[in-house]
Amino acid sequence: MLPSSKLKEILGRVYDGAREGPGDDLTAEEYENRRRDFVFHMTDWEDDLKELVELFEKPDQHDEEAACIFVIGFLYHVVPHLNAAGRLLLDEIGDPFAPVDHKKQP
């Protein structure tokens, strides 16, 4: 399913609001390319999201094998898109769940 133009429009405005325009480090063309990529990475997995909602709302209608295949596929497909969208919008997102190396802390 293709994302609606309204969804793509609001996601583009989200990008604009967070990035506040091209700034000094990007040309207008580079900014538009990144904006387009952000919208793509936020919408390419729309069908996966609908399937996840279905699984969450009706877990009893899915057998373990089908759910396992779906969840693994979801993670392989969606997480990279979210990582890419996060980098495009926020430059860098740390991993708050990464193990802490206490030996490196002061």
| 9-50 per-position pLDDT tens digit | 999 999 999 987 777 788 889 999 999 999 999 999 999 999
Please determine, for residue 5, whether its predicted confidence score (pLDDT) is greater than 80: yes
Structure-token match 């969840």, residue found: 71
pTM for the structure as a whole? 0.84
Q: In terms of Cα–Cα distance, which of 4, 28, 8, 12 is closest to 88?
A: 12
Band (pLDDT 50/70/90 cuts) for residue 92 is: confident
**Token representation of residue 39:** 């919208």
Cα 51 off chain centre by: 16
DSSP-derived secondary structure letter, 98: S
Please determine, for residue 102, whether its predicted confidence score (pLDDT) is greater than 90: no
Q: Which residue has the higher pLDDT, 103 or 52?
A: 52
Q: In terms of Cα–Cα distance, which of 33, 4, 35, 7 is closest to 19?
A: 35
